[in-house]
Amino acid sequence: MPSSKRERRSSRVSKLRSRAVVGKLRGEGLKISVVVSQFNQWLTDKLLEGALQALRKTGASQEEVLVVKVPGAFELPQAARSLATSGKWDAVICLGVIIKGETPHFEYLSNAVANGIERAAVETGVPVAFGVLTTETAEQAIARCGIKQGNKGYEAALVAVEMANLGKQLQEL
Ligand code: INI
């Protein structure tokens, strides 16, 4: 029988039951759309390749994947929101490359894109993965497109699958 206050508290804690929920990395049956910016296309093509490779790896059917092209990163949130509100997609992946060296309005553009993508996800409830590189130089972007330091498109696609499944799993609790 616990006597002190501390012992009584610790006895209550040991009776707590917890469970963890993690979204499955299984793409079978999921409908995923990818919005990709054509600005810096030589790099966004690599992100797209990475994203499609990751989706294939999770078992997502390529016929169920829609690729939508927009002019630049600034247009990603609008297209993502349009797809998310259509009710046809389990997740949306946004891909783009914003390089500081090329734009004096880098901060405005990066913030607008990040906020727009976040709002598209939170306000629609559909996962919208952020696969947008914001780098100081083209070299840093190249490194994150699959050449040296992984591929941001690949990572974003895995997040999209995980979050799409998590959403379904949470509904089933
Ligand atoms: N779009 C990008 O995706 N990356 C950039 O680095 C970039 N720069 O450098 O300006 C860029 N600009 C275009 C922008 O996204 C819009 O398409 C444009 O402003 C029209 O709305």
Q: Pocket of ligand 1, candidates 35, 37, 39: which has the most ligand atoms within 8 Å of its Cβ, to mutate? A: 39
pTM of the model: 0.90
The tally of domains found in the chain comes to: 1
pLDDT of res. 155? 97
Does some domain include residue 129? Answer: yes
Please tell me the residue having the least CA distance from ligand 1 atom 1: 72
Q: Residue 55's domain spans which residues? A: 30-171
Does some domain include residue 14? Answer: no
CA of 73 to the centre of ligand 1 (A): 6
Does some domain include residue 118? Answer: yes
Give the SS3 label for residue 35: strand
pLDDT tens profile 106-131: 999 999 999 999 999 999 999 999 99
Query: How far is it, in rounded angstroms, from Cα 40 to Cα 150?
Result: 18
pLDDT of res. 109? 96
Q: Active site residue: 9, 12, 88, 105, which one?
A: 105
Does some domain include residue 21? Answer: no
Does some domain include residue 22? Answer: no
- Which are the contacts of 70, defined by CB distance < 8 A and separation ≥ 6? 35, 36, 37, 38, 76, 78, 79
Give the SS3 label for residue 50: helix
Neighbours of 115 (CB within 10 A): 11
Does some domain include residue 80? Answer: yes
Please report, for the domain that includes residue 152, its CATH number: 3.40.50.960
pLDDT of res. 63? 86
Does some domain include residue 96? Answer: yes
What is the full per-residue pLDDT of the chain (173 aa) written as tens digits?
555 666 666 666 667 788 899 999 999 999 999 999 999 999 999 999 999 999 999 999 988 899 999 999 999 999 999 999 999 999 999 999 999 986 789 999 999 999 999 999 999 999 999 999 999 999 999 999 985 679 999 999 999 999 999 999 999 99
pLDDT of res. 15? 74
